[in-house]
Amino acid sequence: MTTTNTNLASAKIAIVTGASRGIGRDTVLRLAARGVNSIFTYNANQAEADKVLSLVAEAGAKALALQLSVENAATFDAFVARVREALDSWGAQRFDYLVNNAGTSSASTFEAGTEAELDAQFAVHFKAPFLLTQKLLPLINDGGRIVNISSGLARFAFAGRAIYGPMKAAVEALTRYMALELGPRRITVNVVAPGAIATDFSGGVVRDNPQVNKAVADHTALGRVGLPADVGPVIAALLSDEFGWVNAQRIEVAGGVHI
C-alpha cells in the first residue's frame, strides 16, 4: 500500500481500477486537477503506480495505490477491506466515484478462440465490474457516479476481436441494468467506449505499428488514433455534478471511427 503525503482536503473521492498507465492513469490525473482524491489500483507495476502518485501530489490532491488483480474475484473482499481502512485514514466513511477501467486484451478470432481465453476475458471484463461494484456498493455515497469502460469494438466488428468485443458489449448491457437498479440511490451509471488508443494495450500495436496506426487513422473522421488524454477528461467530466442528469448512456470517444 503506497500513498502520497499531501494533506487531505475536503474533497470527493474516486476509485479507479487499472490506473498505473493509459486511460486509467490519465483519468486519475484529470480528477486530481479537479480536486478529486483517488484510490487507484495497479496489477503489477508498482514503479508506474508510484509515478502516478507523484503527479497527483504535484496537482495538490491525494492518492493511494493498491495492488489488485481484477481477474481474481477471490481477492475482492480483502480489497474492499483495504479501501475501508484507507477511507478511515482519510477521515471518510464513503467514496463518491467508481471507474471500472482495468482490462486486458484479446486478439482471438471466433474460430481460434479457446475456452480458457473466453473465461479469462469474462473474468476481467464482465465478472470484475459486476462483483467488485457489488461489493463496493455499501461504501459509495448515495448520489455517486459509476463509469464503466467499453470499446468501439462493441459497436463495430474487427478481425481478431471475437472475444474482446462481445465482452465489452456485455459491459454496456450491464451498465443499463446497474443504472436502473441503482437509480433509487441516485447513483448514475454510464459507459465510455474508447476507440483505438495509442498506449501499450494489446502489446502497443496501435501506438507502435505504423500500418495499424495508419489504418485506424484512415477510418477515423478526425484523421488520427486516440490518446489517453482524449478519454480521461471525458470520464472525469461524467463524474462531475454537471453531468448528473446523464444516466445509462453509452458515450463513444473515438474521433468518429467507422461512422
Residues recognised as catalytic: 150-151, 164, 168
Spatial distance between the Cα atoms of 26 and 30, rounded to a whole number of angstroms: 6
Whether 234 and 191 have beta carbons less than 8 Å apart is answered as: no
Cell numbers representing residue 132 in the block: 467488485
- Sequence letter at residue 80: V
**Cβ neighbours, 10 Å, residue 136:** 20
Whether 29 and 4 have beta carbons less than 8 Å apart is answered as: no
Spatial distance between the Cα atoms of 106 and 12, rounded to a whole number of angstroms: 34
Cell numbers representing residue 236 in the block: 472525469
Write the DSSP symbol of residue 214. Answer: H
In DSSP notation, 154-197 reads GTS--TT-TTHHHHHHHHHHHHHHHHHHHGGGT-EEEEEEE--B
**Cβ neighbours, 10 Å, residue 194:** 27
Question: What sections of 99-254 are H helices per DSSP?
Answer: 115-122, 128-136, 164-182, 205-208, 210-218, 228-238
Residue 18 to residues 45, 77, 102: CA-CA distances in angstroms? 10, 18, 4
